[in-house]
Structure 1
Amino acid sequence: MSTPEVYLQPHQARKRPNTPFEDLLGDSIERAFGNGVSELGDLLAHLNLAGPPCPLTSGEWTAEAYQTLMARLGA
């Protein structure tokens, strides 16, 4: 008999529930990827059109703001 493959379900790594902003951001990023977006500049353009607004700036998504926020969310 073989040993079952061990894997981590994303929800197992959570320390708290997502905030409404995090849910909206995740949905928007998933839509962008689903539409073939694969470059950061194109993703930022999508987020600036579709939202949600960036909480680190006046609402505009920049490469620096996106990378800073992703680092915070991943910590």
Structure 2
Amino acid sequence: MEVEELKPEQFVNCPPLMPWRQFAIWIRMEDDQDRVRGWIDKGYLPTVRLGRHRMVNVALVVKHLLEQED
């Protein structure tokens, strides 16, 4: 997997919450959704439960990524 440079403008239109499977597709890991679910189960990705749905807190993920660049 190739690592891309992060730019703040890339995240202007991203939603604050996203279903975890959609998040896996968004980060181009649709073929490895089990790994993304493992990250969630281990607490590596911030999530919020809405009813029976697990949503990835994309806003917090983006914030952490941008802080790491500084």
The answer, yes or no, to whether TM exceeds 0.5 is no
Who wins on radius of gyration, i.e. which is larger?
1
Q: TM-score, normalised to structure 2's length?
A: 0.30
